[in-house]
C-alpha cells in the first residue's frame, strides 16, 4: 500500500477517521506505507496532512501503527517536507543541516511509535527532490552544482537516519525522471539509486514527475497502463536491493507478471486500494473478476486533496467514512431510488447497509447507466 495524502487528520494528529481508513485497507497487503508526514511545520504542504514533527504526535501514530499491525501487515511511515514557496538557493548550509536533523528526529519518533520501517520522500518535486534536480537547484556550494553536490542532501538524510535507527528498514522514494527540460532524469536516477544502496537504503520505491508533470505519478485515464515500468526495470537492474513499482499498473494479472518477469520486486498500489480496499484480497482468493478497478479520474482522491478537502473516491463513497455506513439507521425507512446508474446503484447499496428498505428503479432493461 503506497502512501497517499488523505487530509483526514486534525492539525497533524491521527484521528478515528484516519485509523478506520488504514484499518480498512491494510488487511491483505504485505506492507502499508502511511502517507507523507511532515517532519517540520515549514514542510507542511497540505491543509490536514499528518505530522510527525513533535513528540505529542507519537501516541496517535502508535495507535495507527498498531491497528495496521493487528491485520498481520508490516507498517512504514513516509517522512517528508515540501514548501513550494522556496527553492534550494534560499537556504543557508546551517538551514539545510537543520532540515536533515528534522528527518532524523522524525525517524526516532517513528521508531517510538512502533513502525517497522521508514520511507524517505525524495520524489515528486518535493523538498529533497528539488535539491536533486539540476534545473531547480542553482546552488554553487557543496549542496549544488554537479551531481554529487545535488545528491548530498538526500544522502546525508539517509546516512543520518540509518545511523540513528539502524534496526529499522529504510525505503527511499525516488523519481525515475522529473520529466522536465533539464531536470533529474533516468541516468541520474540510476546513479542516485546506486549511491542510496551504498549508503544503506533497504529498498527503492520508484515513481516519476514533479508538480508540473504530475501525470507521471498520478497518471490519469488518458495515459497508458504501466507508464513507469521501463524506468523501474532499469533501476532494478542497477541495484541489488528490492525495488517497488508504482503508478497505474493495470489489472490484477499484470501485477504478478510485473514481478515474475523481473521488472520489480514488489507491486505498489495507491489509488487502487482507495477505490477497492479488497482488491488484493480478491486477487489472492481467485476473485479478480470482482475487483472494482480505479478508473484514474483523479477527481476525488487527487483533486479533493489539492483543494484541501478530505480524500474521497468516485467509485467508493465510503472512503474516509469507513464506519459511517456500518452504523444502523435509528429509523428504518422505505426508500425509492430513481435511476440505476453508478450513483443510483451506490446509493441503493449503502442505504440498504444502513438498514433501510430500498427499491431501485431503472427505466432501461439493465442497470449501469450510459
Residue 91 has a pLDDT of 98
CA dist 139 and 144 (Å) reads: 4
CB 117 within 8 A of CB 169: yes
- The sign of the CA dihedral 29, 30, 32, 33 is negative
Residue 67 has a pLDDT of 98
Q: What is the mean pLDDT of residues 51-73?
A: 99
- Greatest Cα pair distance, the chain, in angstroms, is 71
Residue 325 has a pLDDT of 80
CB 305 within 8 A of CB 333: no
Range(s) within the chain of domains with CATH label 3.20.20.70: 16-316
CA dist 199 and 161 (Å) reads: 10
Residue 65 has a pLDDT of 99
Q: What is the mean pLDDT of residues 237-250?
A: 97
- The sign of the CA dihedral 241, 269, 27, 320 is positive
* Chain length of the chain: 370
134-178 pLDDT, tens digit per residue, is: 999 999 999 999 999 999 999 999 999 999 999 999 999 999 999
107-132 pLDDT, tens digit per residue, is: 999 999 999 999 999 999 999 999 99
Residue 368 has a pLDDT of 84
The grid coordinates listed for 36 are: 507523507
pLDDT of 370 strictly over 80: no
Q: What is the mean pLDDT of residues 266-292?
A: 97
Q: What is the mean pLDDT of residues 39-51?
A: 97
pLDDT of 335 strictly over 90: yes
Q: What mean pLDDT is reported for the chain?
A: 96
| Burial profile 216-246: b = 16 or more Cβ within 10 angstroms, e = fewer | bbbbeeeeeebbbbebbbbbbebbebbbbbb
- At residue 327 the predicted structure's pLDDT band, cuts being 50, 70 and 90, is confident
CA dist 27 and 281 (Å) reads: 8
Q: What is the mean pLDDT of residues 63-68?
A: 99
Q: Under CATH, what is the fold of the domain 16-316?
A: TIM Barrel (3.20.20)
Residue 22 has a pLDDT of 98
- At residue 326 the predicted structure's pLDDT band, cuts being 50, 70 and 90, is confident
Residue 145 has a pLDDT of 97
CA dist 53 and 164 (Å) reads: 16
69-93 pLDDT, tens digit per residue, is: 999 999 999 999 999 999 999 999 9
- At residue 96 the predicted structure's pLDDT band, cuts being 50, 70 and 90, is very high
CA distance from start to end of the chain: 32
- At residue 342 the predicted structure's pLDDT band, cuts being 50, 70 and 90, is confident
- At residue 18 the predicted structure's pLDDT band, cuts being 50, 70 and 90, is very high
CB 79 within 8 A of CB 118: yes
pLDDT of 369 strictly over 90: no
Query: 119 in helix, strand or coil?
Result: strand
Q: What is the mean pLDDT of residues 336-350?
A: 92
Residue 161 has a pLDDT of 99
Cα 188-84-152 angle, rounded to 5 deg:
35
What is the rounded radius of gyration, in angstroms, for the C-alpha atoms of the chain? Answer: 21
Residue 154 has a pLDDT of 99
pLDDT of 281 strictly over 90: yes
Beta strands in the chain (DSSP E): 31-38, 74-80, 117-121, 169-175, 203-207, 243-245, 266-267, 334-338, 357-361
Residue 324 has a pLDDT of 87
Q: What is the mean pLDDT of residues 193-211?
A: 98
CA dist 175 and 156 (Å) reads: 18
Listed in sequence order, the DSSP H helices in 252-341 are: 252-260, 271-275, 279-284, 303-306
Amino acid at each position: 500500500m503506497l502512501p497517499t495524502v488523505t487530509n483526514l487528520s486534525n492539525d497533524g494528529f491521527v484521528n478515528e477517521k484516519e485509523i478506520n481508513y488504514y484499518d480498512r485497507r491494510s488487511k491483505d497487503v504485505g506492507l502499508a506505507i502511511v502517507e507523507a508526514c511532515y517532519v517540520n511545520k515549514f514542510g507542511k504542504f497540505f491543509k490536514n496532512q499528518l505530522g510527525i514533527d513533535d513528540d505529542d504526535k507519537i501516541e496517535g501514530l502508535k495507535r495507527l501503527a498498531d491497528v495496521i499491525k493487528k491485520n498481520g501487515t508490516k507498517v512504514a511511515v513516509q517522512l517528508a517536507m515540501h514548501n513550494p514557496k522556496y527553492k534550494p538557493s534560499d537556504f543557508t548550509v546551517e538551514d539545510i543541516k537543520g532540515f536533515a536533523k528534522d528527518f532524523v528526529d522524525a525517524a526516532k519518533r517513528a521508531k517510538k511509535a512502533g513502525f517497522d520501517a521508514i520511507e524517505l520522500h525524495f520524489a515528486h518535486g518535493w523538498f529533497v527532490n528539488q535539491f536533486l534536480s539540476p534545473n531547480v537547484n542553482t546552488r554553487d556550494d557543496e549542496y549544488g552544482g554537479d551531481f554529487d553536490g545535488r545528491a548530498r542532501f538526500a544522502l546525508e538524510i539517509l546516512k543520518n537516519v540509518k545511523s540513528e535507527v539502524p534496526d529499522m528498514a529504510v525505503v527511499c522514494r525516488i523519481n525515475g525522471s522529473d520529466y522536465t527540460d533539464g531536470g533529474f532524469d533516468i541516468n541520474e536516477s540510476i546513479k542516485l539509486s546506486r549511491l542510496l544502496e551504498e549508503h544503506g537504503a533497504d529498498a527503492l520505491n520508484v515513481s516519476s514527475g514533479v508538480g508540473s508533470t504530475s501525470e507521471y505519478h498520478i497518471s490519469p485515464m488518458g495515459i497508458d497502463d504501466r507508464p513507469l515500468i521501463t524506468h523501474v526495470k532499469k533501476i532494478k537492474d542497477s541495484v541489488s536491493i528490492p525495488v517497488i513499482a508504482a503508478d497505474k499498473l493495470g489489472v490484477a494479472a499484470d501485477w504478478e507478471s510485473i514481478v515474475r518477469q523481473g521488472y520489480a520486486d514488489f507491486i505498489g498500489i495507491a489509488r487502487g486500494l482507495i477505490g477497492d480496499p479488497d482488491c488484493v484480497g480478491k486477487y489472492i482468493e481467485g476473485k479478480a473478476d470482482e475487483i472494482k478497478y480505479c478508473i484514474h479520474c483523479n477527481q476525488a482522491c487527487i483533486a479533493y486533496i489539492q483543494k484541501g478537502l478530505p480524500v474521497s473516491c468516485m467509485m467508493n463513497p465510503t472512503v474516509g467514512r469507513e464506519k459511517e455506513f456500518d452504523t444502523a439507521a435509528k429509523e428504518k425507512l422505505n426508500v425509492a431510488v430513481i435511476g440505476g446508474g453508478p450513483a443510483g446503484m451506490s446509493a441503493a447499496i449503502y442505504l440498504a447497509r444502513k438498514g433501510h428498505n430500498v427499491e431501485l428503479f431503472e427505466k432501461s432493461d439493465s442497470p449501469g447507466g450510459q
